[in-house]
């Protein structure tokens, strides 16, 4: 059975709030999704990859626009509930960047904390809704719509 998860992740992959603050932000998320959606908060040791699942169709270089078909090869192999270092040199144009700047379509994110709503019963959060969650968290957030 397939399911959808709406993830809310801080824009800074290494930023982390206290548990109390994260719970407060999760409560805001819970008000924005279906009443029967279960909202969870997960802390990761380092910057975990929050993947859009089967919604991920394409990954592009942020500098030259090349289609990075072998993007998975760029991931460091030291994954331990997250990556300590997202630095990468891109094979297309040699640019030195961070993995979280790659143009994932649909979007993915990296984060030490992940607020997730299972089967949210809605589509993307609006910019205003993201700002409201960001205010509760004390940090700007981005979203990942994951299909499993
Ligand atoms: Zn490039």
Distance 98 CA to ligand 1 centre (A): 12
Helix-then-strand count for the chain, H and E: 2, 8
Distance 103 CA to ligand 1 centre (A): 11
pLDDT above 90 (res 145): yes
pLDDT above 80 (res 1): no
Q: Looking at residue 77, what is its pLDDT?
A: 87
Peptide bond into 106 cis (omega under 30): yes
Distance 19 CA to ligand 1 centre (A): 38
Distance 91 CA to ligand 1 centre (A): 7
Number of domains in the chain: 1
How many CB atoms lie under 10 A from the CB of residue 120? 22
Distance 68 CA to ligand 1 centre (A): 8
Q: Which domain holds residue 125?
A: 4-147
- Classify 28 as helix, strand or coil: helix
Q: Looking at residue 2, what is its pLDDT?
A: 85
Cβ-contact 26, 38 below 8 angstroms: no
CA 69, CA 91: separation in Å to the nearest integer? Answer: 11
pLDDT 10s digits, 78-105: 889 999 999 999 999 999 999 999 999 9
Cβ-contact 146, 55 below 8 angstroms: yes
pLDDT 10s digits, 24-67: 999 999 999 999 999 999 999 999 999 999 999 999 999 999 99
Q: How far is CA 77 from CA 85, 90, 99, 107, in A?
A: 11, 16, 13, 22
Distance 49 CA to ligand 1 centre (A): 21
pLDDT 10s digits, 104-143: 999 999 999 999 999 999 999 999 999 999 999 999 999 9
Q: Looking at residue 78, what is its pLDDT?
A: 85
């Amino acid at each position: 059975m397939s399911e959808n998860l709406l993830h809310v992740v801080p824009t800074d992959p290494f930023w982390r709030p206290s548990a109390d603050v994260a719970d407060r932000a999760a409560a805001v998320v819970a008000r924005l999704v279906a009443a029967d959606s279960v909202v969870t908060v997960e802390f990761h040791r380092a910057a975990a990859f929050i993947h859009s699942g089967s919604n991920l169709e394409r990954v592009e270089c942020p500098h030259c626009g090349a289609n990075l078909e072998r993007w998975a090869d760029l991931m460091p192999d030291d994954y331990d509930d997250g990556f300590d270092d997202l630095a990468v040199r891109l094979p297309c144009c040699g640019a030195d960047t961070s993995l979280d700047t790659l143009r994932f379509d649909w979007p993915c994110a990296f984060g030490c904390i992940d607020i997730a709503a299972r089967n949210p019963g809605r589509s993307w959060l609006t910019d205003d809704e993201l700002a409201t969650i960001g205010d509760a968290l004390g940090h700007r957030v981005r979203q990942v719509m994951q299909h499993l």
